Amino acid sequence: MIPILPDTAWREFRGAAASTGQNLTTHQAVIADAQGQEHKCFVKAAPQGNPMPLAEAVAWMVAAALDLPRPEFAAVLLLPVSRLRQYMKLDQHWLHYSHTLAFCSSTVRGKHISAPWQWLAHLRKAKAFRHPDLPRIAAFDMWVENQDRHSGNFLRTREGDYVPIDNEFILYTLVWAAHTTVVHHSLRLEAQAMLKAAGYTKFEISMVIASKLHEAAFHKASPALQQFICALHADPGQGVAAATAILQFLGQRAHPDWLANELGRIV
């Protein structure tokens, strides 16, 4: 199970993130795990009731069971907003918070595939979409219903692997759709736009092959998911209901034939 850490785990501010995206609280900090080992992490806070920490944690646990490239360490943290305010200028919304839940994950030694020159960015993107990690990530995203994956939110490591980051908009119809509208982005759509017909067919077939591992990963992750989701809810009844809904959703989409049927590909 992914740990839920107290505010004392937030040890040291290490700077605001160069790119915060929509979440202006995103920063780097030293986070101590339950054993006291320290990790340099990216941390982003969630307003009260926002499902981001839940979604990010579920994505990390499913990716771990699937052995998908990911940050080595992740946790949900009770973030001391009053302390963070000493180092970062936060907007007025956060003035009423002393603490809030946040998601943190260890920094990944990697780079975005973007570049100041358009030709170089296109070359890096084309290379990425020929790598076997990309259809695996695309299959994972369809399984967990990630509404916002694009080539700007994965990193290329020194070893040449591709690590997906920013997984908060998973479980879209379950936890986001009622109060948030997100423009759909996916690696599958990007692959369709940039690859030739044969390359795109190969990409989707690779997605289907990758999806054959989802059912086993689901069964492996289910006990920890159940425990974590229940622990994250103060009300036991709400925790059980949320865990049941999420596990049913993921279980149905983990069926070995589900993605093949969605894509219309027989492998």
CA distance 108 to 105: 9
The Cα-based distances of 241 to 62, 137, 171 in angstroms read: 19, 28, 15
When pLDDT is averaged across residues 58-83 and rounded to a whole number, the result is 96
When pLDDT is averaged across residues 103-117 and rounded to a whole number, the result is 88
CA distance 152 to 135: 16
Q: Which H helix or E strand runs over 119?
A: helix 118-128
Q: CA angle at residue 114 from 143 to 132, to 5 degrees?
A: 40
| Three-state secondary-structure class, residue 99 | strand
The residues facing 76 across adjacent strands are: 4, 103
Evaluate if pTM is beyond 0.75.
Answer: yes
Q: What percent of the chain has pLDDT over 90?
A: 76
When pLDDT is averaged across residues 174-200 and rounded to a whole number, the result is 92
pLDDT band at 224 (very low <50, low <70, confident <90, very high): very high
Sign of CA dihedral 54, 55, 59, 62: positive
Core vs surface per residue 94-108: b (16+ CB within 10 A) or e: beebeebbbbbbbeb
Q: Residue 124: how many CB atoms within 10 A of its CB? A: 17
Q: CA angle at residue 241 from 260 to 72, to 5 degrees?
A: 60
CA distance 43 to 24: 11
Q: Which residues make Cβ contacts (< 8 Å) with residue 191, sequence separation at least 6?
A: 129, 134, 135, 138, 199, 200, 203, 204
When pLDDT is averaged across residues 14-18 and rounded to a whole number, the result is 85
pLDDT at 20: 55
pLDDT band at 21 (very low <50, low <70, confident <90, very high): low
When pLDDT is averaged across residues 48-62 and rounded to a whole number, the result is 96
pLDDT band at 111 (very low <50, low <70, confident <90, very high): confident
pLDDT at 91: 84
| Three-state secondary-structure class, residue 62 | helix
Q: What is the pLDDT of residues 124-170, one digit of tens each?
A: 888 999 999 999 999 999 999 999 998 888 899 988 899 999 999 99
Antiparallel, parallel or unpaired: β 74-80 and 38-45: unpaired
CA distance 2 to 118: 39
Q: Which residues make Cβ contacts (< 8 Å) with residue 237, sequence separation at least 6?
A: none
Antiparallel, parallel or unpaired: β 10-16 and 27-32: antiparallel
Q: Closest Cα partner for 34 from 96, 64, 77?
A: 77
Q: What percent of the chain has pLDDT over 70?
A: 99
Q: Closest Cα partner for 166 from 105, 113, 125, 79?
A: 105
CA distance 118 to 116: 6
When pLDDT is averaged across residues 110-123 and rounded to a whole number, the result is 83
When pLDDT is averaged across residues 205-234 and rounded to a whole number, the result is 97
pLDDT at 11: 97
pLDDT at 110: 84
When pLDDT is averaged across residues 163-184 and rounded to a whole number, the result is 92
